[in-house]
Structure 1
Amino acid sequence: MPSRQTLTIVIAAFNEEASLPEMHRRLRAVLDGLDADTSVLYVDDGSRDGTWQVLQSLASDDPRVQLLRLARNFGKELALTAGLDHVDADAALVIDADGQDPPELIPQFVARWREGFDVVYGTRTQRDGESWLKRFTAAAFYRVMSRLSHTPIPPDTGDFRLMSRPVLDALRQLRERQRFMKGLFTWVGFRQVSLPYQRAPRLAGGSKFNYWRLWNLALEGITSFSTVPLRLATYVGLLTALGAFGWGLWIVARTVLWGDPVEGWPSLMTVVLFLGGIQLVALGIVGEYLGRLYLEVKQRPLYLVSEAKLPR
């Protein structure tokens, strides 16, 4: 690989006006010392604070800054998709706007890329500034995904990663609406390598991902890359049906042999409610997959751009 390549840093921002100035100051210092032609593409994901004004100010001070403003809040996964779709460079590096992923590690990512790796992803060895519950649920999610999905998703790995041009071209072919980017980054394959690092606390503000949004993201990941829940619902339904059939045979045999006074209201209600609950759970799992099919067949655009400042 030639010593000098082009690299674009992609940053999706939603209500990050407080952290962006310091984040860009650190990023600018790193890029100034990097042996590559660099640019920074900020994607404003429909922010409701002064994020867009801050980004415009950064662009006026730094000619390397490019801007995309989405028409509304489409979510981080689609904001990243919009940014990666507009990258015209030899490689792109995705990093969060809150400063938890240290931009000072970018030279190490570039070094591994120049060794021949197509994807260099950051693996968190420590997650400072996060509660024990969030660390526990994140670790549990990655472990569950590794068992349910045929696509091996690296544990404790977020969106902080560098991708080469072939990987970006491959990602552009994946236009599914319900997107779990961590899975898509892995699914495309190519030569991938981990870069361990310690994640820092946020520069300012709080996380936009509350536990409800994290739960929905987990559902996206599981239903996008695994059909195990559907198979599990089938097995649970089959075992429940066999159990109910056996219980019915026992009731018939007991009645024939010993008779049966009119009793059993509690046991009857218990069985009915149990079977009804199993059926509703199975229907809910099927509904999750059916809802995703419904969104896919409408073929709406993944995102809409309202304003842009890009190189001509």
Structure 2
Amino acid sequence: MKKKISITTSCWNERENIPLFYERCLKVMAEFPQYDVEFVISDNLSTDGTRDVLRELAAKDPRVKVIFNANNFGHIRSPYNAFLNATGDAVVIMCSDLQEPPEVIRDFLKKWEEGYKVVAGVRSGTDNHGITEVFRNIYYWLLEKLAENLGSLPGVPAD
């Protein structure tokens, strides 16, 4: 049985981006025929037609699961909800607005195949300055510390 990769995202008013996101992810996953793929998309009460696009996508591809939230749960809880509904052996969390190119999935999967339990991308070369830069650096520092100590967390294998 093939292992499954879950690609998760959340969206709010991303009617134009969702088809591009989906197609670009599919193109990357075509390079990894040894895996099955599922998409778990959590919609935050979009009002621009995104929900119709998602319904059409799910109707044509049974690998697409859509969660239609009753409220806008924001950029933290909504992706977490998608993550909780993923059934894959590995979960990739992406932004549907294409801030991160779906092509990075290729690099993530290669690292996962090397045995890494957690793979995270670091955005570089941004135009962030001032307080945004400070918070971004704190976030990446915390992410690094979490990764270093992942084996000491309850329920996470130490290897």
Conserved? CA contact 2:118–2:147, under 8 Å: no
Question: What is the CA–CA distance in structure 1 between the aligned matches of 2:81 and 2:4, rounded to whole Å?
Answer: 19
Whether 1:153 aligns to 2:142 is: yes
Whether 1:138 aligns to 2:132 is: yes
SS of structure 1 residue aligned to 2:120: strand
SS of structure 2 residue aligned to 1:123: coil
> Which one-letter code corresponds to 2:108 in the other structure?
F
More displaced 10-residue stretch of structure 1: 65-74 or 31-40: 31-40
> Which one-letter code corresponds to 2:142 in the other structure?
I
Conserved? CA contact 1:40–1:65, under 8 Å: yes
Question: What is the CA–CA distance in structure 1 between the aligned matches of 2:48 and 2:71, rounded to whole Å?
Answer: 13
**If you compute each CA radius of gyration, which structure gives the higher value, 1 or 2?**
1
Kindly report which structure 2 residues correspond to 1:186-205, keeping only aligned pairs within 5 A, or say none: 186=146, 189-190=149-150
TM superposition score normalised by structure 2: 0.82
Whether 1:10 aligns to 2:4 is: no
Conserved? CA contact 1:23–1:99, under 8 Å: yes
Kindly report which structure 2 residues correspond to 1:48-87, keeping only aligned pairs within 5 A, or say none: 48-87=47-86
Question: What is the CA–CA distance in structure 2 between the aligned matches of 1:104 and 1:125, rounded to whole Å?
Answer: 16
Conserved? CA contact 2:44–2:72, under 8 Å: yes
Residue 154 of structure 1: CA displacement? Answer: 4.2
1:245-281 Cα distance to aligned partner (Å, 9 max, x none): xxxxxxxxxxxxxxxxxxxxxxxxxxxxxxxxxxxxx
> Which one-letter code corresponds to 1:10 in the other structure?
T
Whether 1:37 aligns to 2:26 is: no
Residue 33 of structure 1: CA displacement? Answer: 2.4
Whether 1:24 aligns to 2:50 is: no
> Which one-letter code corresponds to 1:46 in the other structure?
L
SS of structure 1 residue aligned to 2:96: coil
1:132-185 Cα distance to aligned partner (Å, 9 max, x none): 4xx113312134x37xxxx94248xxxxxxxxxxxxxxxxxxxxxxxxxxx9xx
Off by >6 Å, runs of 4+ in structure 1: none
Give the match for residue 46 of structure 1.
Answer: 45
Whether 1:124 aligns to 2:118 is: no
Residue 53 of structure 1: CA displacement? Answer: 0.6
Give the % identical residues: 28
Conserved? CA contact 1:10–1:92, under 8 Å: yes
Question: What is the CA–CA distance in structure 2 between the aligned matches of 1:95 and 1:188, rounded to whole Å?
Answer: 22
Give the match for residue 106 of structure 1.
Answer: 105
Q: Which structure's relative contact order is higher, taking Cα pairs within 8 Å and 6+ residues apart?
A: 2
Q: What RMSD, in angstroms, separates the aligned Cα atoms of the two structures?
A: 2.5
Structure 1 unaligned spans of 5+: 156-182, 192-312
Kindly report which structure 2 residues correspond to 1:152-301, keeping only aligned pairs within 5 A, or say none: 152-154=141-143, 186=146, 189-190=149-150
Q: CA separation of 1:8/1:188 partners in 2, compared to 1, >3 Å: closer, same or farther?
A: farther
TM superposition score normalised by structure 1: 0.44
Conserved? CA contact 2:40–2:65, under 8 Å: yes
SS of structure 2 residue aligned to 1:55: helix
Conserved? CA contact 1:118–1:190, under 8 Å: no
Q: CA separation of 1:189/1:13 partners in 2, compared to 1, >3 Å: closer, same or farther?
A: farther
Give the match for residue 156 of structure 2.
Answer: none
Q: Aligned residues, how many?
A: 149
Structure 2 unaligned spans of 5+: 152-159
Conserved? CA contact 1:5–1:37, under 8 Å: yes
Residue 187 of structure 1: CA displacement? Answer: 7.6
Residue 12 of structure 1: CA displacement? Answer: 0.5
Conserved? CA contact 1:142–1:154, under 8 Å: no
Residue 14 of structure 1: CA displacement? Answer: 0.8
> Which one-letter code corresponds to 1:138 in the other structure?
T
Residue 15 of structure 1: CA displacement? Answer: 0.8
> Which one-letter code corresponds to 1:38 in the other structure?
V
Question: What is the CA–CA distance in structure 2 between the aligned matches of 1:142 and 1:22, rounded to whole Å?
Answer: 27
